[in-house]
Amino acid sequence: MILTTTAPVARRETQAFLDQQHQLLIDGQWMPAASGKTFEVTNPADGKTIAEVAEGDKADVDKAVAAARRAFETGPWPAMTASERGKLIWKLADLMEQHIEELAEIESLDNGKPKAVAAAADVPLAIDLFRYMAGWSTKIEGTTIPISVPYLEGAEFHSYTLREPVGVVGQIIPWNFPILMAAWKLGPALATGCTVVLKVAEETPLSALRLGHLIQEAGFPPGVVNIITGFGETAGAALSAHPDVDKIAFTGSTEVGKLIVKAAGDTNLKKVTLELGGKSPNIILPDADISAAISGAANAIFFNHGQCCCAGSRLFVHRSQYDQVVEGVAAEASKIKLGPGMHPDTNMGPMVSRIQQDRVCGYLDIGMQEGAKALVGGKRADSSGYFVEPTVLVDTHAEMKVIREEIFGPVVAAVPFDDIDEVIATANDTIYGLAAAVWTKDISQGHRIAKRLKAGTVWMNCYNVFDASLPFGGYKQSGWGREMGYEAISLYTQTKAVTLQIG
């Protein structure tokens, strides 16, 4: 299943970027960490070091927040018109488009995902998000509100609202879609006129650093976007506890999400939006188009190696179709070619790190001990890279860890069901509520089920469909707030009510 051939080398410009000294972007300048420390970035396909980046911590976060504050209050940024802001964001998207191949290679070498996928999905989605948000810059409006105040009889007023940027935003992003998560965060912040300190994931800092160069080339004023590479417990924690940060937007684990909320509460009650874990149910009804449902179920769990917060990791299939579907998904899994992301034939790359590989395999071991059986896969693949075989688990039951906890790898647990009420109850029996899917030809039934599923996204007869205009986020412990769409704009702005007495 592992491709043994070595992957093609990176393009010249990609290699030149990797070989650079990678520093922090603060106040429009690239600079080393105050401590002088650096850390190594590895290619998860072979464990080899591909770059060395600055290890920012509290001192650097303090500097970056001060720069973002200056840029927000007095820089050219607040004086720019919404149209000028929109043009800059659009220009950034154009620059990214000119560098798609390079950005995709950086993403593949750093994260492990197939370059072809990064070039077809991650980078174009990021570009599209920036363009979508560029359009919003000029459409952020308040309202006029007729008021009548009972204790001021006869007085007349003119009341209206302004939607103003929240201010200095700390953004902390994960490693599963590095450039796309950077875009989801930066897009609405820039469209609304906020300034940003972006803390990228320590596993995958490189594409955001390349983006930092493009941000400078586009002409954003100094301090509007500051980029910190470093670790969560130091740089991330310093950002979430910083007294001069107005909002934290976080994507990552539910566990760290709770720490962020606590840090906000213990300091300045900064606003917090969170996009956290999931254990999304994918429900196949007996009348579904079974072959579409099988390939959809495989895509739901194996896309991005299962390293998706919305991965369809619990597969509920009506008992009448159960054997056919699980065997079909297992057959899809065995066709997947594992290999380095840079190899053109690779369908699935390695897990992002040894830690993630161990974590996923730990769940597999526990699952088997608890009585689950792997119809296909079930173990790490024999390689110097961090590969895990795509896995379909059967004979699972509701109390198993593989059913209850987020694995964040290419592992789906299949469960048969007999009736709709039962499957909806089981699907909703989770602390998470990020996404869900239902496969059926009975569209009315599909809509009824969509309404009863406790999830921020419900896909019908499809999976993993994203668009910059569709709000994405979680019910329950999957998060607070939404990303993308107008909802993201609203969460980077705050409302001011202004009242004038006119008579």
Alpha-carbon gap, residue 455 to 475, rounded angstroms: 5
| Stretch binding ligand ADP (CB under 6 A), from 95-103, 248-256, 330-338, 413-421 | 248-256
Size of the site for ligand ADP (CB under 6 A): 17
Q: Is 309 designated active site?
A: yes
Q: Looking only at residues 377 through 436 of this chain, which bind ligand ADP when binding is defined by CB under 6 A?
A: none
Alpha-carbon gap, residue 243 to 168, rounded angstroms: 11
Annotate each residue in 133-172 with x if it binds ligand ADP (CB under 6 A) or - if it does not, as one string: ---------------------------------------x
- Alpha helical stretches, state H, 370-428: 401-404, 420-427
User: Does the footprint of ligand ADP cover residue 27 (CB under 6 A)?
Assistant: no
Which among 308, 309, 310, 361 is annotated as catalytic? Answer: 309
Cα dihedral 419, 473, 89, 22 sign: negative
Which among 102, 203, 275, 406 is annotated as catalytic? Answer: 275
Alpha-carbon gap, residue 70 to 72, rounded angstroms: 5
| Stretch binding ligand ADP (CB under 6 A), from 36-44, 129-137, 255-263, 393-401 | 255-263
| CB of 252 closer than 8 Å to CB of 174 | yes
Q: Is 275 designated active site?
A: yes
The helix (H) or strand (E) run that includes residue 169 is strand 168-172
Alpha-carbon gap, residue 142 to 122, rounded angstroms: 33
The least distance separating ligand ADP from the CB of residue 268, rounded to whole angstroms, comes to 16
The least distance separating ligand ADP from the CB of residue 267, rounded to whole angstroms, comes to 13
Instruction: List C-alpha distances in Å: 318 to 293, 298, 414, 423, 439.
Output: 12, 17, 11, 9, 11
CA 32 to chain CA mean position, Å? 27
**And the tokens for 241?**
């506890």
**Cβ-proximal residue to ligand ADP, closest one:** 232
Among 179, 256, 412, 436, binds ligand ADP (CB under 6 A): 256
Alpha-carbon gap, residue 87 to 218, rounded angstroms: 9
User: Does the footprint of ligand ADP cover residue 212 (CB under 6 A)?
Assistant: no
Nearest to 452 by CA among 477, 422, 473, 431: 422
Among 192, 204, 240, 478, binds ligand ADP (CB under 6 A): 240
The least distance separating ligand ADP from the CB of residue 55, rounded to whole angstroms, comes to 12
Among 19, 40, 233, 365, binds ligand ADP (CB under 6 A): 233
Q: Looking only at residues 165 through 204 of this chain, which bind ligand ADP when binding is defined by CB under 6 A?
A: 172-174, 199, 201-202
Among 252, 306, 349, 416, binds ligand ADP (CB under 6 A): 252
The least distance separating ligand ADP from the CB of residue 102, rounded to whole angstroms, comes to 23
- Ranges of beta strands (E only) in 359-422 are 373-376, 391-394, 411-417
The least distance separating ligand ADP from the CB of residue 481, rounded to whole angstroms, comes to 17
Among 259, 300, 435, 468, binds ligand ADP (CB under 6 A): 259
CA 474 to chain CA mean position, Å? 12
3-class state of residue 456 by DSSP: coil
The least distance separating ligand ADP from the CB of residue 137, rounded to whole angstroms, comes to 27
The least distance separating ligand ADP from the CB of residue 257, rounded to whole angstroms, comes to 7
CA 107 to chain CA mean position, Å? 14
Instruction: List C-alpha distances in Å: 232 to 58, 91, 171, 362, 473.
Output: 11, 31, 12, 23, 22
User: Does the footprint of ligand ADP cover residue 351 (CB under 6 A)?
Assistant: no
Binding residues vs ligand ADP (CB under 6 A)? 172-174, 199, 201-202, 231-233, 236-237, 240, 252-253, 256, 259-260
List active site positions: 275, 309
